[in-house]
Chains A and B, each alone.
Chain A
Amino acid sequence: MSETKALESMIGEEYKYGFTTDVEYEDFPIGINEDIVRLISGKKNEPEWMTEFRLKAYRAWTEMKEPSWFNATYEKPKFDKLQFYSAPKNTPKLNSLDEVDPNIRETYEKLGIPLEEQKMLSGVAVDAVFDSVSIFTTFKEKLAEAGVIFCSISEAVREYPELVKKYMGSVVPVRDNFYAALNSAVFSDGSFCYVPKDTICPMELSTYFRINNMNSGQFERTLIIAEENSHVSYLEGCTAPMYDEHQLHAAVVELIAMDNAEIKYSTIQNWYSGDEDGRGGIYNFVTKRGACRGHHSKISWTQLETGSAVTLKYPSVILQGDYSVGEFYSVAVTNKRQQADTGTKMIHLGKNTKSTIISKGISAGNSNNSYRGEVKFSKKADNARNYSQCDSMLIGQTCGAHTFPYIESANPTGKVEHEATTSRVGEEQIFYLQQRGISEQDAISLIVNGFCKEVLKELPMEFAVEANKLLGIKLEGSVG
């Protein structure tokens, strides 16, 4: 077996989160129309304004067309066959962990996310979203003491309507794009976080998204607001069972940072990616955007994308406030028939704004991995600066890596620095490390971790180990 083959087989290591949980689901009709949108809103006991928001979005969506400008091909989701809401029975509103279906609890245990607070990593609060509903949120009381609100978005709509009304759709407008419009109409659950003025959130916040139902889509909606002088770090993790059919995860995430506020948003995305022939796997179509509204505010996106059959995702920052900072750190790993078209947009509106983009793409198998980035300096953005670095690593001969950087500057004082490299994990590198006594698996692990180092070090410490492990699972395994 050639070394390249060994490499590919390592990366092709079996998906460990592909099991299905046996739960009874509430009945819900298939397909989408205004009645279904109303039904979803009704299930969640939403106020009238929320229902109207959804209906407006639905009507907008019906007039929009599915986009096709990206570097990926896939069979379009059949919206009339999809179930847009999927909730396990008997889990209406949970105040105690005892009320959670034991099967679902066990699911989270198996995923390494026990929901009992004493078993958790200390200092990490978790919101667990199972298909369309949030199952449980930990450490709520402790966060409340600090004045931080952390709950499911459904709960926020009911409990904090003024905040939701004010901010939802303010960064990603309903008509922003096809999947954002769809999400706005049918969004199921996700997290809501509000950090008041002068507050440092006392723990890491995280949400674990699990898609279990074969025929349902998941429409995550997350909203994070950091008031003046506040700081919050949030992480999301994603897994799903292995099915032969594709499933849709279409999310909208909005972040808002006021004066001097900082939001750090990290993602470890490990949805099921489909098999060798491209059967099954998640369509991960996501709109994530942050607004640096205040001066000296900062929004930082870090993502480790290893799963999904198709990923279309461009976490972006609108740098409105003077001296605001946007960052994007990304590792995207594709293998088999996976397709990822991911990158970022940095829109500089304020003066002295600064953005950094570090993107690391690793492609193996027959996969296709594209970086797409846009840096825009508006007329008023005096002294804006951007640094972009996009590196691609190829493993084997049958994968593709592409970079599409776009730069648009309407202000002559702006400075852009762009670097890009492409390398191949060489047999020579592996042989060199092996000659130094290191096994082939460890050699690959070292090389890949070295390649991604600048990004991995941006992940919150509590999750660094998990990230390394995930890269390990993705990149190690049986050597023939």
Chain B
Amino acid sequence: MLEIKNLHAIVESEGIEILKGVNLTVNKGEIHAIMGPNGSGKSTLAKVVAGHPNYEVTDGDILFNGESILELDPDERAHAGLFLAFQYPVEVPGVTNTTLLRESYNTIAASRGREELDPLEFDDYIQGKLELVEMNPDFLERSVNTGFSGGEKKRNEIFQMAVLQPVLSLLDETDSGLDIDALRIVADGINKLHGDDDGVVLITHYQRLLNYIVPDYVHVMIGGKIVKSGGKELAFELEEKGYDWLESLATVNGEAK
């Protein structure tokens, strides 16, 4: 479903290369975890896949359902079924959650040939989604993320994921900022949303989340590359040993290039 091939990307304004040849394949029904120390390029990878304008792809390709999406605008990628839960969700004052979600839902539905919902139908539709992440209905009429606590913002991202029903979800540090109860609720929600037809990529630097959402594969990203991949046991190994023992792997490979 998602194939990232030898992806190199730079920060457009400064020319600094952040992604230095990332390879990753996600198939339907799979959950992947990408772990790695701060600053290793995890968020950048997610943003580049989603089409953030600050980054330029200088080499490699991103295929979604077999076709390159490099030329697509971020909204077109969203229409194709790509969803990014932001590490730092953005505040949009004056625009209510409902307004945003209805507009999002209907735009995506229209582009995928699904039926659009009128405001009343939409109200009914999202009630069930609220329950999924135990979200207070009051949040629907509040401005998007405005004045939300860190944890509320993260929960709101997963609520949006539930409403929009993406094909591929990139969840960037969704666990950070959540207390243990909220973490359990959000993780349960993600597990319920995930099925045989969609893929999930969890980005995290703690093993904690993986106790609740069990990944099929774990990848370690260091210095803009995936330096090691394995099964879920790799997460435990990282928990124990940290990332230091892998750092050398990154440099050796980096210089060998």
- What residues make up the interface of A, taking CB atoms closer than 8 Å to B? 2-3, 423, 426-429, 431-440, 442, 446-447, 449-454
Contact = CB atoms under 8 A, between A and B. Distances in A.
Contact of A436 (B52, B111, B164): B164
Nearest to A442: B103
Given A442-B103, A447-B95, A432 B73 contact: no
B31 to A, nearest CB: 21
B50 interface: yes
B78 A446 contact: no
Given A427-B53, A446-B100, A450-B143, A434 B93 contact: no
B229 interface: no
B75 interface: yes
A440 B90 contact: no
Contact of A428 (B90, B95, B100, B160): B90
B92 A446 contact: yes
Interface in B70-96: 73-75, 77-79, 83-84, 86, 89-95
Contacts of B143: 450
Contact of B95 (A423, A440, A446): A446
Given A427-B53, A436-B100, A447 B75 contact: no
B108 interface: yes
Interface SS, A side: helix
A437 B79 CA distance: 6
Given A427-B53, A427-B54, A432-B89, A450 B95 contact: yes
Contacts of B77: 435
A441 to B, nearest CB: 10
Chain B CB within 10 Å, residue with most, of A436, A437, A451? A437
Nearest to B81: A437
Size class of the contact patch on chain B: 20 to 34
Contact of B92 (A2, A427, A429, A437): A429
Contact of A432 (B53, B90, B94): B90
Interface string B163-199: 0100000000000000000000000000000000000
B95 A435 contact: no
A449 B95 CA distance: 8
A453 B94 contact: yes
Nearest to B74: A434
A446 B107 CA distance: 14
A450 to B, nearest CB: 3
A442 B52 CA distance: 17
Nearest to A449: B94
Contacts of A439: 75, 107
Given A428-B90, A436-B164, A446-B100, A2 B53 contact: yes
Nearest to A427: B53
A3 B53 contact: yes
A433 B92 contact: yes
A72 B73 CA distance: 39
A440 B93 contact: no
A307 B181 CA distance: 53
A432 to B, nearest CB: 4
Contacts of B83: 435
B104 interface: yes
A437 B78 contact: yes
Given A426-B90, A429-B90, A446-B100, A434 B95 contact: no
Given A429-B92, A451-B94, 11 more contacts: A2-B53, A426-B90, A431-B52, A435-B84, A435-B86, A436-B160, A437-B75, A439-B107, A450-B95, A450-B143, A452-B94
A446 B84 CA distance: 20
A432 B75 contact: no
Nearest to B106: A437
Contacts of B108: 437
A149 to B, nearest CB: 39
A438 B143 CA distance: 17
A17 B68 CA distance: 43
Nearest to A3: B53
A2 B54 CA distance: 8
A440 B90 CA distance: 16
What are the 7 tightest A-B residue pairs by CB atom distance, in nearest-first order?
A: A450-B94, A450-B95, A434-B74, A437-B78, A432-B90, A436-B104, A453-B94
A435 B74 contact: yes
